[in-house]
Amino acid sequence: MPSYTPTQKSAIQQFTGFTHTKESVAAKQLKNHNWNIEQAVDAYFQSNNNTSKDASSGTQTLNKLFDTYRDNPKDEPDTIGVEGSMHYLQDLGLSLEEPVVLAILTELGAPTMGELTRQGFVDGWKRLR
């Protein structure tokens, strides 16, 4: 890996965690978006959902991302509970007190406050692209 600042290294790790891509892809996307993790991840998912093949890849990526935040994968494989939702929102750089959190949970079809279903999560982010 080329020489990056600690902040840039952290952004690369976050990007690869969200997207399950190589570090080189993460660095390229982040450089193109002035190291703004939210813009880079959003652009990555938008560009990967432009064709049917990419849409399938985008769905797989969203499912992998969903899987990283599940609280109880064995008993509830298609649910992110309150703890996982809080972790996810914090990883997005959001404070839980921000009104945008309610909008995100609504767009992702949260059945109750702080709980996400796999279908709502994947379909919601695909709709928002």
Query: What pLDDT is attached to residue 15?
Result: 87
pTM of the model: 0.59
Q: Are 40 and 30 in contact (CB under 8 A)?
A: yes
The torsion region of residue 78 among left (phi > 0), alpha (psi -120 to 50) and beta comes to alpha
* Band of residue 59 on the pLDDT scale cut at 50, 70, 90: confident
What are the φ/ψ torsions at residue 125 (nearest 5 degrees)? Answer: -70, -35
Look at residue 12 and tell me whether its pLDDT is greater than 80.
yes
